[in-house]
Amino acid sequence: MEKDWVRLASFNDLQRAEILKNLLWSEGIEAVLINKMDRAYISVGQVELYCHAESALRALEILETNYPL
């Protein structure tokens, strides 16, 4: 991953992570998910949400307003 990306949050729930990523995209913030879940055991591991460092504060505000972490 490029240097200017920062992790915003980690989730155990892939669906919630996708919803929050899409929320950020709808607000004009480019966000990506890194899925570190075990394929054999879906409940093991994390999904991490990242965005560009320059958008991180705005992204965190949006996430906290809509879905407290």
7-61 pLDDT per residue, tens: 999 988 889 999 999 999 999 999 999 988 766 665 667 899 999 999 999 999 9
Q: What is the CATH number of the domain that holds 47?
A: 3.30.70.1530
pLDDT given at position 43: 63
Quote the number of domains for the chain: 1
Where in the sequence is the domain holding 42, given as residue range(s)? 5-66
Over residues 1-5, the mean pLDDT reads 78
What's the rounded Cα separation, in Å, for the pair 60 and 32?
Answer: 14
pLDDT given at position 39: 67
